[in-house]
Amino acid sequence: MSVSTKRRCLAVLLAAGEGKRMRSATPKVLHKVAGRSMLAHALTALAGAGAESIAVVVGPGAGDVAAEALRIAPQAEIFTQTERLGTAHAVLAARTALARGYDDILVAFADTPLVTAETFAALRAGLAGGAAVTVLAFEPENPAGYGRVLLGPDGGPDAIREEKDASPAEKAIRLSNAGVMALDGHIALALLDAIEPNNAQKEYYLTDAVALARSRGARTAHRVAPEAEVMGVNDRVQLAACEARAQAAARRTAMLGGATLQAPETVFIAAGAKIGQDVTIEPNVVIGPGCEIADGATIHAFSHLEGAYVGPGANVGPFARLRPGARLEKKAKVGNFVEIKKSHIGAGAKVSHLTYIGDATVGAEANIGAGVVTCNYDGFDKFQTVIGDNAFVGTNSSLVAPVKIGEGAFVGSGSVITRDVAPDALALGRGQQVEKPGWAKAFRAKKTKKKGD
């Protein structure tokens, strides 16, 4: 990707498709693959290929698509394609950006989310090598429905023929157009403006730029990508297939990086999640967006993590939930049916079972018993709980925030703690036990007599 440091690049991302086949109120490009919108996948890859400027072309009224684009790439410009007259017409919606004289123009599609930064960079390398147009191609087992890439004597594309316009001989060609393209920025506008709707659909095809470049004596090039990388998404079936491809790649990356996935097909890993060496992940685990799992950690079965950091040698689950902002330090333990939200769990601390810790700090080597709840919300605001190092909180205790449990302090089981507890103190916040001798025997006798009457 060294070309990105020498040549100025504009990426034009087409995201104006209606996505009717998705049958969804959510725009197609906002549907998620591996926990990240398809639009975000494309933007991330384009940035990784060195695109310093990004133009996103959306449809009318697509404010939510524009908002997602700006969330991922705040520097992006948003352009609207008011009429859908083909791919070249869509690219020309970003005319003002195209006219700025970039060296490289990358044209990508937001519903093709698995194309990598390396592939985009390879297209740019074709331009750096002297091509006016570089085409991304692939060789499907069954090319039916795809435009065919027609190669010339020099090995570069002479034209791309849409299947509806192809001859029988051209339809026999397997090399197919993936849609993604790179154009020499100094002649891109001239090529795009010369495209005419001379096809069965009466649309302005971006693919016609290839034949136009050839007719003007320019060189063309192509790069071949795996079919799985260039798969597009038009309906829920294809979305599921795309998810399966993304998950297979993520699992492979994790395992080759030194993690053990005991049942890989049951583990789901979000894009961008980081998994270290000697990590063990048991079956039926979800590693959601924003997660980092450090070396030597263990994630037990049926746990769900999102936006969480799991430190070296830490232990999570089974049946644990780590919500955004959860941070577990070295050798911390979060056990079965424990939920952690926006809380820091210190090194060696134990939150073993049936507990909710929210908006809290738990000190190193502290022990939190079963059924403990940090009462962090009063219906309007959230409050902090601070539990010191080596503190011990007994089972079924409620800590009503804001509250601080000092270092080394003990909280007796079943307590409701509403005031700070001093270091090394014992706190009891429960009613005094009362015992009435013989009460149970008399109660049973009374009930038995009444039942017999």
Element (H, E) at 452: helix 439-452
- DSSP helix, strand, coil percent of the chain (3-state; round to 5): 25, 25, 45
Backbone dihedral angles phi then psi of residue 318, each to the nearest 5 degrees: -75, 165
CB under 8 Å, gap of 24 or more: what pairs does 376-385 form?
376/401, 382/358, 383/359, 384/359, 384/360, 385/357, 385/359, 385/360, 385/361
Active-site entry in 41, 300, 304, 353: 353
Rounded CA gap, 361 and 399, in Å?
Answer: 12
User: Is 353 one of the catalytic residues?
Assistant: yes
> Crossing angle, helix 38-48 and helix 63-72, to 10 degrees?
40
Comparing C-alpha atoms, which of 430, 428, 393 is closest to residue 408?
Answer: 393
Rounded CA gap, 2 and 415, in Å?
Answer: 63
Residue 406: which residues within 8 A CB-CB, separation 6 or more?
Answer: 388, 391, 420, 421, 422, 423, 424, 425
**SS3 of 171, please?**
helix
Q: Catalytic residue numbers? A: 353
